[in-house]
Structure 1
Amino acid sequence: MKKRYVICGVSNRAIKMFVGAMLDQFSEMTEVVGLLDIDPRRFSVCKSIHPELDSVPCYSQDQFEQMISETNPDTVIVTGRDDTHVDYILKALVNDLDVIVEKPMVTKAEDCQKIIAAEEKSKGKVTVTFNYRYAPVHMKIKELILAGKIGRVTSIDLNWYIDTYHGASYFKRWNRIREYSGGLSVHKSSHHFDLVNWWIDQKPVEAFAFGALNYYGPEGELNPRKEDGRYCGTCDVRQSCDYYTRWNSRSQSAVVKDDHIGAIGLKNGHEHYTDYRPDQCIFDSEINIEDTYTSTVRYNKGALLSYSINFSTPYEGYRLAINGTKGRIETTEYHIPARIPFPVPQQTIDYFPLFGSKETIHVVHKEGGHGGADPIMLEDIFLGVDPSRNYKILSGAEESAYAIGTGEAIWRSVKERTPILLDKILFPNSEVHR
């Protein structure tokens, strides 16, 4: 018998990954029975890409209860703008429905507490799609740690680099407003914090950070002219903007070059969506988030994380080292080699025992989004967790809360210039650390 799904937020992520997968490889066990969004144009875009959904009913953002009553779903998939997640998750749990939600689960630590409390009272369960866990290299690192290869984890160094193509896209779109995204320490870095938390099986306790808006916003040093309200597609100084000219020729549309909107084949994104353009100027004064962080996180079993992220670098990828009482793991990833202006090696893992010889581990890389992670995660979601795997990998509400809490603690630390205890923002009414 097919499970019935409704989609809250008909976004690129919903259209490209979830809906496409359900209509293709998982069509025998899944059925999309309802679509909900604030913008009716998104229904048209979705159905033009997936005409199989032509007869599926559509609902506005205030018709959630009507949709549940009329479609009788088993599961709610939440893939809209980050700040909209919390309401749909809570409503789904009240109706005893399972929830699959795109990361970040919510944008604020206080909303995490609401969802955890609601889940405890509900027959429904929250699953958060932290797909980075499923990348073959990341799964292998988890297995090495579980096998005791490096002993007890004592410290982690993680430096993440976002190139000028990907990094600038966050500042063209709604992500640039903290009210909508929680800032990039939540929207993006929660991915990374979840990875570390999962790898080492420890809970973050305290965070301290510095951060700044170095590249984007009106004071960005490469801003060709201080003026609000510009759009890449119509800007008269775009040929003087290095961020534009690196990725666009004079005859190309800037919108097509956005790595999120362009992914679903929209010729001009602003023609399809109401009151929304994904090519806003990256130097606009409404931007109120940071583009650079460096931070330290302390964990409940003694590990220490040194983390940094920069959203305007010449290439994209990360460098990771995990130290333990018996050894060290190192790996470097160069993400999307087609956007890197020099040859890059395929990612491997180097294992250094504390006493002994180095081993280089070659991991079998797989096809699919996020380094081969998406197809594996979708199988776990729609087919059930792979029974041959001997460790937990799908993320739940509480695990997601710690990733979000770390992200919020970091931007609060930047603003307040003091260390932030996660308990105080995640579980302020609890006397016991969860």
Structure 2
Amino acid sequence: MRKFAVCGVSKRAIDMFIQPMITTFSSTSKLVGLLDTDPKRFVVCKSKFPETENVPEYGERDFEKMIVENKPDVIIVASRDDTHIEYILKALEYDLDVISEKPMTTTAADSRRVMEAEVKSKGKVTVTFNYRYSPHHMRIKELINEGKVGRVTSVDLNWYIDTYHGSSYFQRWNRKREFSGGLSIHKSSHHFDLVNWWLDQKPEEVFAFGALNYYGPESEHNPLREDGRHCKTCDVKHDCSYYTRWNSRSNSAIVRDDHIDSDEARKDGYTNYRPDQCVFDSDIEIEDTYTATVKYDKGALLSYSINFSLPYEGYRLAINGTKGRIETTEFHAPSRVPFTVPEQTIEYFPLFGSKETIHVVQQEGGHGGGDPVIQEDLFMGEDPRRKYKVLSGSEDGAYAVTTGEAVWKSAKENRSVRIEDLINQHTASN
């Protein structure tokens, strides 16, 4: 029986870790501690899952106390992004294993600190890059491993975030770079890790552009130049396209937030957490649009873009190699797409030959069926029948974060940025 403690009782922690731990994997896993800055989150968790009623609760400064009193084997970190580093390092000091939500940290320097601490510890760090576990993404990995495309030469990945999901980042804490690292880290690290894993190559150099096009006070969609508004009480919300797209006049008192699914949390709100801040505030300091080129150590090139305010959500991918090409298009959240969504397939084009269309067996569960599979690896150990590694470690987390930071720095400073230079900054400063 492995004992787990959770730092950050977020919706993600409850759905992704706590629920399966006390249901599917209850015979081998035990929840022994909950730590958070806000006691209301304990109430939400325990009201949703009465099985956790007797699990001890701890404040943000009580990490050591939680460890001493409950002796967990694993610390799950699912708190706000900028706090990950503190809990990961403390857990490694106690020689505990760590399961961290992405991004592992919010800076390349902190990622380096994690890798250095892991070397000195008996604990192991795992980062939950669940996009790897989507059936389509695993099949793409297998096609590359089988040599279908030969040596990969280039990748085109265009990611689209719709107006519902995209605007939510600018209503919450994510809008502050100090908390999230910016969306090139908070969100795009998922995508960079996916490409790194597919290619089995390490990113070396990045050149990028970024801009704030849709949100902030200069947005052409801003109905009134005024700071400090909140959707729930805003006088001009019915003149705001982002609000009216997803809210009718009759339910205007409801604030939607994909990080909250509890009626109690929606009604009372969490302490110091506002999911309805105005997307046009002048203190927004992150970008909503990026394009980037990434060079890899074995010669592959990535052309990447992401946009956080589009009519639908999903991505388009092409992987080119010396023997062929892979293409796929995915539409996320079909209930929010205002047109018929086709089935996702993988198209394989040999360099000399006929196209093949591959239909992938669908799986139930979040993130395209990936969540239940990664949960099995986390709570049961990696599948011994699998011929390739999927579960991510600290180095994977570090390269994903550092690529995201390189995108932001390149866009800010109008220069190419080398990955190793960012990772090694921490060492050079000590």
Both proteins in one fold, TM over 0.5 = yes
Q: Which deviates more, 123-132 or 335-344?
A: 335-344
Task: Find out whether 1:92 has 2:91 as its counterpart.
Answer: yes
CA distance in 2, matches of 1:90, 1:268: 30
Number of equivalences? 428
Residues 279, 270 of structure 1: CA spacing in aligned structure 2 closer, same or farther, 3 A cutoff?
farther
2:372 matched to 1:375? yes
Q: Which residue does 1:362 correspond to in 2?
A: 359
| Counterpart residue number, 1:398 | 395
1:414 aligns with 2:404: no
Residue in 2 that maps onto 1:128: 127
Amino acid at match of 1:5: F
Q: How do 1:225-374 residues align onto structure 2 when only pairs under 5 Å count?
A: 225-253=224-252, 255-261=254-260, 264-266=261-263, 269=266, 271-374=268-371
- Sequence identity of aligned pairs in percent? 67
User: Is the CA contact (8 Å cut-off) linking 1:256 and 1:266 kept in structure 2?
Assistant: no
Counterpart CA distance in 2 for 1:222 and 1:404 is 31
1:196-237: CA deviation from partner (whole Å, max 9, x where unpaired): 000000000000000000001111110111111111111110
1:36 match: 35
**CA distance in structure 1 between the aligned counterparts of 2:278 and 2:13, rounded to whole angstroms:** 26
Preserved CA contact (<8 Å) 2:44 2:262: no
Unaligned runs of 5+ in 2: none
| Aligned residues of 1:106 and 1:112 also touching (Cα < 8 A) | yes
Secondary structure of the residue that 1:211 maps to in structure 2?
Answer: strand
Normalising by structure 2, we get a TM-score of 0.98
C-alpha RMSD over aligned residues: 1.2
User: 1:268/1:72 Cα in 2 relative to 1: closer, same or farther (>3 Å)?
Assistant: closer
Contact 1:132 1:370 in 2 (8 A): yes
Q: Hey, what does 1:46 align to over in structure 2?
A: 45
> In 1, distance between residues paired with 2:347 and 2:341?
16
Return 422-431 or 381-390, whichever deviates more.
422-431
Question: For the residues of structure 1 that align with 2:201 and 2:400, how far apart are their CA atoms?
Answer: 12
Q: Indicate the SS of the match to 2:249.
A: coil
C-alpha distance after superposition, 1:390-412 (max 9, x if no partner): 00000000111001000000000
Measured against aligned partners, the alpha-carbon deviations of 1:15-61 in whole angstroms (never above 9, x if no partner) come to 12211111111111111100001111111111111111111111111
Shift of 1:257: 2.4
- Cα gap change, 1:270 to 1:230, in 2 (>3 Å): farther
CA displacement at 1:253 relative to structure 2? 4.4
In structure 1, what is the Cα distance between the partners aligned to 2:330 and 2:374? 20
Letter in 2 for 1:333: E
Unaligned runs of 5+ residues in structure 1 are none
Match of 2:200 in 1: 201
Using the alignment, how far apart are the partners of 2:427 and 2:81 within structure 1? 26
The aligned residue for residue 107 of structure 1 is: 106
How far 1:255 moved relative to its partner?
4.9
